[in-house]
Structure 1
Amino acid sequence: MIKRTLCFTNPAYLSLKDRQLVIRLPEVEKSDMPEELKKEAVRTVPVEDIGVVVLDNKQITLTEGLLEALLENNCSVITCDSRSMPVGLMLPLCGNTLQSERFRDQLDASLPLKKQLWQQTVKAKIDNQAAVLAQCAGAETGCMRRWSADVRSGDTDNLEGRAAAYYWKNLFDGIPGLDGFTRDRQGIPPNNLLNYGYAILRAVIARSLVSSGLLPTLGIHHHNRYNAYCLADDIMEPYRPYVDELVYGIAAEYGIDIPEDITKDLKMRLLGIPVIDVRIGGKRSPLMVAATQTTASLYKCFNGEARRIAYPEM
């Protein structure tokens, strides 16, 4: 079942009743409207149908009971800052019945295994970047295919970085006003769209890791001591090009007129990332479902049942 992504951009009262997320609007609650009309304005969503919740307004109130139910349902809860950019992510502490056993397998993973898994991750990322570059920008990708084939265990030659430099230099070149685009978190648009999209993707991947009984903190490559989601940042790498492709389409429409502050319409388009159609294992699947397949295969690599991570192919 595909889980829903809910984004709240206006003031709201969020609570729980009968395993339903109950949505009430302050302006309605405080108005002089008849009680019958107020009741009609209340909306509900089954908690079990929700995968991601984005809180993007400082006047949102939610109950502890609702928060507990969302986390018990393995839902990711994202909070945003005054610029509507995601700044916080809340996940459940326990998402699998065999959690301690799976933690142990993850902790016991050898360094050679982690290097091999990172090699697979980098190859999958470069291949997907090459596909986006060819399809969107019509750029030459022979060099990227060679770099993908040459990635060694642990990517000791940093071919990921070489491919990224070529990729970002060419991706937006055909769009007027975006020639010479530089990927920079603090840079000009469409960097803001990429940041927002990656934050949604990160939440989806982290949620899937928890559901597979893995610790999102312990990466196979990323190891920043201040990063609570190193493994999520590792595993999301081959999925990033799906966000890039979506943002490219938006950039092609807007050109240099991409707004600094992401509009509601653009947010809605980026919030569709979890249901993007991807191909994994030779079959089509929504990205959120594919992410679960990827993290399940990662655990099998940790416990010795498999040797390869199942990543999507573009």
Structure 2
Amino acid sequence: MERIVDIATDGRHLAAHRGFLIVSEGREEIGRVPLDDVAAVIVHAHGITWSTNLMVALAERGALMLLCGPNHQPAAVCLPIDGHHAQNGRMRAQWEAGRPLSKQLWRALVVAKIRWQGAVLEANGRTAGAFDLLARKVGSGDPDNVEAQAARRYWGLLMGEDFRRDREAGGANALLNYGYAVMRAMCARAVVAAGLHPSIGVHHANRGNPFALADDLIEPFRPLVDALTVRLGAVGVATVTPEAKRAYAGLIALDLPGMGGVTTTVSLAATRAAQSLAKSFQTGKAADLVLPQPPSALELAGLDALLR
């Protein structure tokens, strides 16, 4: 099972030795994880050092290292250069994708996100009939910004009318930042493994954003983080504690409904979405994009196991 490794204590050293990621402090080993199990290493602490051998070993396995600022927002990332045997052709197709295709792909991502938001609201006892209607109103490229209309309704219904999404704030906002960082790392890894470049997005296009495509692909998965944040708040977790980090890291292994009634994990759903996105760029058909279906209330109840 792929694992997210979070480094949150100052003064640690990270190295690779005989197939393991070794965490040490003052030359004394305090933990190890099989390198083949690592999906991403997220570093929040300061004064952390690591070896070049570790970075090479992570890159060889398609894993990444994500460096975060004090607000738990990603600040830098180390990604493999060679992620797929057909990388050159896929990146060329990605770069040459026309605006009509990019707009259709963005529409599909927004529709999926809104439907997931509705599923999360329903699972939390909120009426979400309007979200199905909003999803049907999304046009190519979302020219009417239905995504923002849905967000305004969604946050008030899910978190309370006084809640405001603020990336620089603490409390629930800091928890959301951390959860999204985990999902972002997962999506960036899936994008690179599919032979795509994470900075060339279909909608997100900030020149300083190395995660543009990962930020597109993450959209349907964001409501999972929101749902877990609500559950953490219900049990009294209001800050980014070690317990909260373990819960968010466990999200990538959560079971989701797959195609043909086959259950899949969040991580595998992201991998499949990225692979199908690569196919869409090559065929020029947005219909080739395969996104995960919204989970049922019973499937979202699986989040409770992450709190233990």
Identify the residue that residue 270 of structure 1 maps to in structure 2.
Answer: 248
Correspondence list, 1:1-314, <5 A: 2-10=1-9, 11-26=11-26, 29=27, 41=29, 43-82=31-70, 86-136=74-124, 138-173=125-160, 179-254=161-236, 258-259=238-239, 262-281=240-259, 282-304=261-283, 307-313=287-293, 314=295
Deviation of 1:305 (Å):
7.9
Contact between 2:62 and 2:193, CA under 8 Å: does it hold in 1? yes
Contact between 2:12 and 2:47, CA under 8 Å: does it hold in 1? yes
User: 1:260-285: CA deviations, max 9, x gaps?
Assistant: xx222222212222222222323222
Contact between 2:72 and 2:174, CA under 8 Å: does it hold in 1? no
What is the count of residue pairs matched by the alignment? 291
User: 1:172-199: CA deviations, max 9, x gaps?
Assistant: 23xxxxx421111123421110011111
**So what's the TM-score if we normalise by structure 2?**
0.88
Contact between 1:220 and 1:231, CA under 8 Å: does it hold in 2? yes
Q: Structure 2: which amino acid aligns with 1:273? A: L
> Distance between the aligned counterparts of 1:157 and 1:266, measured in 2?
36
> Distance between the aligned counterparts of 1:91 and 1:143, measured in 2?
40
**Structure 2 unaligned blocks of 5 or more:** 296-308
Q: Measured at CA, do residues 289 and 71 of structure 1 come closer, stay the same or move farther in structure 2, by a change above 3 Å?
A: same
Q: Structure 1: which amino acid aligns with 2:142? A: D
Name the stretch that deviates more: 179-188 or 199-208. 179-188
Name the stretch that deviates more: 164-173 or 87-96. 87-96
Alignment partner of 1:103: what SS? helix
Contact between 1:278 and 1:285, CA under 8 Å: does it hold in 2? yes
CA RMSD of aligned residues (A): 1.9
> Distance between the aligned counterparts of 1:44 and 1:189, measured in 2?
31
**Structure 1 unaligned blocks of 5 or more:** 30-37, 174-178
Contact between 1:76 and 1:204, CA under 8 Å: does it hold in 2? no
User: 1:144-168: CA deviations, max 9, x gaps?
Assistant: 1111012111111111110011001
Q: Structure 2: which amino acid aligns with 1:134? A: E
Q: Structure 1: which amino acid aligns with 2:95? A: L
Which structure's CA Rg is the greater one?
Answer: 1
Deviation of 1:59 (Å):
3.3
Name the stretch that deviates more: 121-130 or 43-52. 43-52
Q: Structure 1: which amino acid aligns with 2:119? A: A
Identity percentage of aligned residues: 35
**So what's the TM-score if we normalise by structure 1?**
0.87
> Distance between the aligned counterparts of 2:95 and 2:115, measured in 1?
29
